[in-house]
Amino acid sequence: MAQRDTRRLDEDDVRNRPTRYGSRARTKQRPAHEDAASGMVVTVDRGRFTVLLNDSGVQLTAMRARELGRTAIAVGDQVGVVGNLTGEPDTLSRIVRVNERRTVLRRTADDNDPYERVIVANADQLLIVTALADPPPVFGLIDRCVVAALTAGLEPILLLTKADLASPDVVLRNYAELDIPAIVTSRGADLDAIRAILDGKVTVFVGHSGVGKSTLVNALVPGALRSTGVVSGMGKGRHTSTSVFALALPPPQRGWVIDTPGVRSFGLAHVSADDVLWAFPDLEGGAVQCPGSCEHLSAADGCRLDAWVEQGHSSPARLEGFRRLLSSRTDLGGAVTPPS
Ligand SMILES: Nc1nc2c(ncn2[C@@H]2O[C@H](COP(=O)(O)OP(=O)(O)OP(=O)(O)O)[C@@H](O)[C@H]2O)c(=O)[nH]1
Ligand SMILES: [Zn+2]
């Protein structure tokens, strides 16, 4: 099976793809605050950031220093903070630096929104949580998550829940072609396979309401106090149900789970056919023979990929999977659900 090299994307892609605010301005901040403490942003709530200091584990409430201007700060960002670093109640520190990001997971508010919003910085993996039934899986939505992950430099992983209600076979077959790892689980099941894949990584969890994501996060991070079922937004208020937040995996595991309660889909207007292509190295040799502006959709439009596959360089299933991902950018594809 073709080996996908997600890490290859990180540096070039993140650097070459200009963000709204540019990436150079960030690194220029550095000399002014060499004494700043380093930490990771674990939540963002109405302009206030919670930062966990890397060395001491102290948790701070911070605001953006004026000198950062409108530089986006997202969960997962590595930042420099100054000011009151005790973490005591009612104290505030300032974020004076945002380090260059390894990866950036974005969404647009919708496909017509020209501004890309950063959801999570520096994540390694996107765990796409999908129920096998109640609610049933929707391939078009899963595909959109896969495209968002691949183009952000994150490894997509499928997590199929509620295996007690329906068979995973159809879904597994569909994504095996795309070379995407999948784990099947149900409530109360052994979590070892999931823990193994999370260990040492920063993993973003996405999934629609009711798929069992909160049940899972609670099981993986005891004390996370995530609300499950009908009640959300209990406890500390609405921020617990709508904001992205990072949770450290309990020892001896390392790594982070980043939950995304408010994120229902990804805008993919900024994703080009070639952005998706790099996840299919077995097709690249054919794509270089295509006309310059090829969207790679059909041989009738001059696409050379069908011929490439016929020559035995890749498989029809891979090409079909690639084209399915391409069309998920524009076509919500929501109607295609597997039989249960
Ligand atoms: N049959 C079955 N039900 C499950 C399983 N996992 C979770 N559920 C149930 O599915 C419902 C939704 O679970 P949640 O964990 O709240 O799902 P969620 O994805 O976090 O949804 P929101 O809280 O709405 O964001 C709850 O009633 C759970 O008890 C499972 O493996 N099998
Ligand atoms: Zn083509």
In the predicted structure, residue 185 carries a pLDDT above the cut 90: yes
The residues, any chain, with a CB within 8 Å of residue 229's CB and separated by 6 or more, are 214
Q: Tell me the CA distances in angstroms from 193 to 184, 197, 198, 199, 252, one per residue in order.
A: 9, 6, 9, 10, 15
CATH class of 24-98: mainly beta
Indicate the helix (H) or strand (E) that contains 105: strand 104-108
**Lookup: tokens for 40:** 């990771």
For ligand 1, atom 27, the nearest C-alpha belongs to: 229
What is the value of ipTM here, to two decimals? Answer: 0.95
- Helices 139-152, 316-328: axis angle to 10 degrees equals 90
Tell me the DSSP string of 116-159: EEEEEES--EEEEEEESSSSPP-HHHHHHHHHHHHHHTPEEEEE
Q: Which of 185, 215, 340 to mutate to test the pocket of ligand 1 (most atoms within 8 A of CB)?
A: 215
Question: Torsions phi, psi of 242, nearest 5?
Answer: -120, -15
Within 6 A (CB) of ligand 1 lie 161-162, 164-165, 186-187, 207, 209-215, 228-229, 232
Query: Considering the entire predicted model, what is its pTM?
Result: 0.83
Q: Which of 38-52, 199-213, 235-249, 268-282 has the lowest mean pLDDT?
A: 235-249
Residues of the chain with CATH 3.40.50.300: 104-259
Ligand number with the minimum distance to the CA of 133? 1
Distance (angstroms) between ligand 2 centre and the Cα of 110 equals 27
The answer to whether the CB of 338 falls within 8 A of the CB of 139 is yes
Please give the distance of CA 87 from its chain centroid, rounded to a whole number: 29
For ligand 1, atom 12, the nearest C-alpha belongs to: 210
In the predicted structure, residue 36 carries a pLDDT above the cut 80: yes
For ligand 1, atom 10, the nearest C-alpha belongs to: 212
Q: Which of 68-72, 126-130, 183-187 has the lowest mean pLDDT?
A: 68-72
Distance (angstroms) between ligand 1 centre and the Cα of 212 equals 3
Domain 104-259: which topology?
Rossmann fold (3.40.50)
For ligand 1, atom 29, the nearest C-alpha belongs to: 229
CA distance 321 to 326: 9
Indicate the helix (H) or strand (E) that contains 215: helix 213-220
Q: What number does the ligand 1 atom closest to the CA of 261 have?
A: 25
